[in-house]
Structure 1
Amino acid sequence: MKAAWARLLGGFARLLALLVISLLALQLYFLARIALMSVVDPQSTTFQRSEAWRLLVEKHHIAWSQQWVGYAQISPHLKRAVIASEDAGFADHSGVEWDAVEKAWERNQKAEARVAKINEEIERRASKAAKGKPAAAKPAAAPVKPRPHVVPKIVGGSTITQQLAKNLFLGSERSIARKAQEFAITFMLESLLTKQRILEIYLNSVEWGEGVFGAEAAARHYFRSSAAQIGPGAAARLAVMLPAPKRFEKRPDSPFVVGRAGTVMARMGAVELP
């Protein structure tokens, strides 16, 4: 009996050691990739590759626009606008704004509780309606339709560095393990790259519409201009689009975009560039 337990514990210990080694190997892989980015521009990101595959599957062709430009070839207005809109403390924080993460978590908890109550009410009303409906009125072979449910809107508290970590290496799934890996990659980025390089990679790889990636492609797509020549107003409008580019690209001149861009422009003067 003792020998069996010893073998079992030994097997568990070997499995645990293998998992730890695999996890460390994965972190070393990320570390090496990030270190290389200090001198080599990344050709693509995990998010871009998933988008290319989606376009190929859904539309059977890939309409793609992206052109890398150096940090000096991106308008200071666009840099300031993106920082003002996405991450006002970018120049000062170490990769994660813990206060923003905590506030986002609290908002999401409240949203989930609110949505749970709404869904309970939907279920209650549907159940009440089903009980009060005459049996003869029900078709025997009628298909059962799923009851509509409200889905909570998830609010993020991610910094520019965290967004870059997700785009470069991670998928879109939400889990504690994926969030922990995001934090680890974020700290690697902040440790191995300068703030200027992080912003340069972010602005060259972020999505600005379906198949539109990077500042140069976005400037040409929406304003027929280069990233270097974008003015304050256009820069602010591009920055406003970043949280939901596929939604805003259909109406880049919508009242919401224009109004929000005015707010961003008012904040741009206080932004410190790396």
Structure 2
Amino acid sequence: MAKRSFVWGLGRYLILATAGLLAFVAVVLVALRFVNPPTSAFMVAHQLSADDARVRQNWVALEDISRWMPRAVVASEDQRFLAHWGVDVNAIQAALDEYRSGGGLRGASTITQQTAKNLFLWDGRSLFRKSLEALLAVAIDASWSKQRIMEVYLNIAEFGRGIYGVEAASQAFFGISASQLSPQQAARLAAVLPSPKKMSAADPTPYLWQRVRWIQQQMAPLDGF
């Protein structure tokens, strides 16, 4: 009888704790619709682990960012950004089909998932972390507009070691503000996003130039921003 009471009490505690955590996440997400996050999990991790812990970031509103930059990241990272609900089931299925056919297992993270990861989580490929990322992405998509998701993403994405957000990246690599980015410069910034610590928008390799040209071709028919 005592054992049953203990199990019941533990189960009740876990349910209440989970409900409390979900309520807290919901409150935070609603608040972040209107309040710009002061930092992100990735920025904090950089400050705690890097030899050079300096973080460069300057928040700018979406309307103060060149219209080419959202198009470049949509072209590069998530061409169904305006259509899906935070997780792109089609992209996940395509990645799984490619893997089953003998190809490598590539990522299928949406811009919303990347926003969730950068803002709240940690780097890694574990199923647990990817599951949290997907759940948060769905919650973010339900709570924020696509414009707000894009604004937060462009302000917290890492574009180089210690360089977070498109304004800091534009200043560091091109000596201009984010509002002045040309289509090619926007494509160069978008091209480094998969691996910002290994690739440089300031000094593109032949591979990176090839990727820049592809992104620019994909940008042409895009609209919505």
1:25 aligns with 2:20: yes
Distance 1:109 1:52, change over 3 A: farther
Whichever residue aligns with residue 96 of structure 1, its letter is V
Q: Give 1:16's aligned residue.
A: 11
What is the Cα deviation at residue 257 of structure 1?
A: 1.0
> Scaled by the length of structure 2, what TM-score is found?
0.92
Distance 1:101 1:212, change over 3 A: same
Whichever residue aligns with residue 102 of structure 1, its letter is Q
Counterpart of 1:93 (choices 64, 80, 84) is 84
Whichever residue aligns with residue 211 of structure 1, its letter is G
Distance 1:8 1:106, change over 3 A: farther
Q: How does 1:242-261 map to 2 (within 5 A)?
A: 242-249=193-200, 252-261=203-212
Q: Is the 8 A contact 1:97 1:159 kept in 2?
A: yes
Whole-Å separation in 2 of the counterparts to 1:154 and 1:191: 28
Whole-Å separation in 1 of the counterparts to 2:154 and 2:202: 22
Whichever residue aligns with residue 15 of structure 2, its letter is V
Counterpart of 1:103 (choices 79, 88, 94) is 94
1:167 aligns with 2:118: yes
What are the superposed Cα offsets for residues 210-232 of structure 1, whole Å, 9 maximum, x if unpaired? 00000001111111111000001
Counterpart of 2:182 (choices 220, 223, 231) is 231
Whichever residue aligns with residue 28 of structure 1, its letter is A
Secondary structure of 1:247 counterpart: coil
> Scaled by the length of structure 1, what TM-score is found?
0.77
Q: Is the 8 A contact 1:161 1:190 kept in 2?
A: yes
Q: How does 1:66-85 map to 2 (within 5 A)?
A: 66-85=57-76
1:47 aligns with 2:42: yes
| Bigger radius of gyration | 1
What are the superposed Cα offsets for residues 157-206 of structure 1, whole Å, 9 maximum, x if unpaired? 00000111111111224433333322221121111111000000000000
Whole-Å separation in 2 of the counterparts to 1:269 and 1:52: 38
Counterpart of 1:221 (choices 172, 191, 202) is 172
Q: Report how many residues are paired.
A: 225
What are the superposed Cα offsets for residues 62-102 of structure 1, whole Å, 9 maximum, x if unpaired? 23211000011110111100110000011111111112123
User: Percent same amino acid among aligned pairs?
Assistant: 33
Whichever residue aligns with residue 34 of structure 1, its letter is L
Whichever residue aligns with residue 91 of structure 1, its letter is L
Structure 2: 5+ residue stretches without partners: none
Whole-Å separation in 2 of the counterparts to 1:33 and 1:252: 38
Distance 1:174 1:20, change over 3 A: farther
Structure 1: 5+ residue stretches without partners: 1-5, 115-152
Structure number with the bigger relative contact order (C-alpha 8 A, sep ≥ 6) is 1
Deviates more, 1:65-74 or 1:8-17: 8-17
What is the Cα deviation at residue 108 of structure 1?
A: 5.3
Whichever residue aligns with residue 78 of structure 2, its letter is D
Whole-Å separation in 2 of the counterparts to 1:15 and 1:175: 27
What is the Cα deviation at residue 109 of structure 1?
A: 6.4
